[in-house]
């Protein structure tokens, strides 16, 4: 059935326009054609790697990766300009269905159930025409490499700098004043949004380590704690570390100050210490600082 065109006239009240009854009749016919066509789509279900054929154009190719991740590979060309290849992930597992071009490069990641992508043969290349892909999340607990997903349009980065280490306590005779080491400060928490093009094909991810605690002493004032490490995503964004806590001495050790560069405010400062009372708790913040060392 051909598409039904509704004549609405040149202006309101135009006598040549379709009646409401006729217009609704054509609209219903168009919906019947649309949904009848979708119901008639040929399905092609796969559970393992598959080299897509030119004859698969127009089919809905569904990947079930419940048994393991795999890839679909597009043909080198379409049989005719305008050919369309449609892909969808059908299972609920965390295994990815990857769509690759004929050269082996990734052109779509289907990671969640019902993720889908449609490619159009332009006469010289497969062009992504439409896709519906749930947001992806990558979490790095240690340094590594971030890979930009194909078809990505933007991304958000959240980084937390390494917290500072606590200072060591003072060691002296029982008649002398002595204080525990101060707690280290929390690292900055940074949030920033980017267009996908700002992210290279890959970017190095550096996770700042927590600072080392002040080295133990056999006599005298305690050693300062080490500063934390900087966390960064390539050269795009970084999160500053927290300072190390001061070593305990014959007087109270001041709290370590957190960096003031956090997106959501300053992180928690380290707890201060005292020679005559319990140490104070670390300061409140988006990322809390370490507590102060116990007083001797």
Residues 250 and 166 in one domain: yes
pLDDT at 202: 96
Q: Which residues face 156 on adjacent strands?
A: 193
Q: DSSP of 235-279, one letter per residue?
A: TTEEEPPPPPPPPP-SSPPPPPPPPS--TTSPPPPPPP--SSSPP
pTM equals 0.71
Whether residues 262 and 296 fall in one domain: yes
Q: Are residues 86 and 97 in the same domain?
A: yes
Q: Looking at the structure, do residues 96 and 242 belong to the same domain, yes or no?
A: no
Listed residue (120, 112, 69, 119) closest to 91, CA to CA:
112
Give me the phi and psi of 192, to 5 degrees please.
-150, 140
Statement to judge: residues 32 and 164 lie in one domain? no
How many C-beta atoms surround the C-beta of residue 81 within 10 A? 11
Same domain, 117 and 250: no
Q: Give the pLDDT of residue 206.
A: 97
Residue 27 parent element (H or E): helix 20-39
Count of the separate structural domains present in the chain: 3
Which of 103, 86, 93, 53 minimizes the C-alpha distance to 70? 93
Both 206 and 98 in a single domain?
no
Same domain, 231 and 86: no
pLDDT for the residue numbered 144: 97
The secondary structure of residue 122, as a DSSP letter, is -
Domain boundary among 81, 99, 132: 132
Q: What pLDDT score was predicted for residue 13?
A: 67
Domain-terminating residue out of 132, 160, 182: 132
pLDDT number for residue 17 = 72
What is 195-249 written as a DSSP string? EGGGS-SEEEEEPPPPPPPPPP-SSBSPPPPPP-PPEEETTTEEEPPPPPPPPP-
Residues 122 and 148 in one domain: no
Domain boundary among 132, 160, 189: 132
The whole-number pLDDT of residue 148 equals 96
What CATH number corresponds to the domain at position 124? 2.60.120
pLDDT in tens, the chain (296 residues): 556 666 766 666 666 777 776 766 666 666 555 544 455 679 999 999 999 999 999 999 999 999 999 999 999 999 999 999 999 999 999 999 999 999 999 999 999 999 999 999 999 999 999 999 999 999 999 999 999 999 999 999 999 999 888 887 777 766 677 677 777 888 889 999 999 999 999 999 999 998 888 887 778 777 888 889 999 999 999 999 988 888 777 776 666 767 767 776 667 666 555 555 545 544 555 544 444 443 33
- Positive/negative CA dihedral, 268, 277, 253, 169: negative
pLDDT score for 293: 41
Looking at residue 10, what is its pLDDT?
Answer: 67
Domain identity same for 27 and 150: no
Is the same domain home to 142 and 275?
A: yes
**Whether residues 196 and 284 fall in one domain:** yes
* Structural domain for 29, as ranges: 1-40
For the purposes of burial, counting CB atoms within 10 Å of the CB of 72, is it exposed (0-12), middle (13-18) or buried (19 or more)?
A: buried
């Amino acid at each position: 059935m051909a598409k039904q065109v509704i004549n609405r006239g040149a202006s309101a009240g135009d006598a040549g326009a379709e009646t409401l009854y006729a217009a609704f009749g054509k609209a219903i016919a168009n919906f019947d054609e649309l949904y009848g066509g979708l119901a008639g789509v040929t399905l092609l279900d796969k559970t393992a790697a598959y080299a897509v054929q030119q004859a698969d154009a127009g089919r809905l190719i569904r990947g079930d990766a419940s048994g393991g991740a795999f890839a679909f590979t597009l043909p080198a060309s379409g049989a005719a300009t305008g050919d369309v290849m449609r892909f969808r992930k059908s299972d609920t597992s965390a295994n990815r269905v990857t769509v690759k071009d004929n050269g082996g490069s990734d052109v779509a990641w289907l990671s969640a159930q019902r993720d889908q992508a449609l490619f159009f043969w332009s006469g010289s290349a497969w062009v992504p025409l439409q896709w519906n892909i749930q947001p992806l999340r990558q979490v790095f607990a240690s340094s590594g490499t971030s890979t930009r997903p194909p078809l990505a349009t933007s991304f958000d980065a959240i980084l937390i700098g390494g917290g500072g280490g606590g200072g060591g306590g003072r060691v002296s005779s029982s008649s002398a004043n002595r204080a525990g080491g101060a707690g280290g400060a929390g690292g900055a928490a940074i949030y920033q949004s980017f267009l996908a093009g700002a992210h290279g094909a890959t970017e190095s991810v550096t996770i700042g380590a927590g600072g080392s605690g002040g080295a133990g002493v056999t006599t005298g004032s305690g050693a300062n704690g080490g500063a934390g490490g900087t966390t960064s995503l390539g050269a795009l964004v970084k999160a500053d570390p927290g300072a190390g806590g001061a070593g305990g001495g014959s007087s109270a050790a001041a709290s370590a100050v957190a960096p003031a560069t956090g997106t959501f405010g300053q992180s928690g400062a380290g707890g201060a210490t005292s020679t005559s009372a319990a140490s104070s708790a670390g300061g409140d913040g988006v990322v809390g600082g370490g507590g102060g060392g116990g007083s001797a």
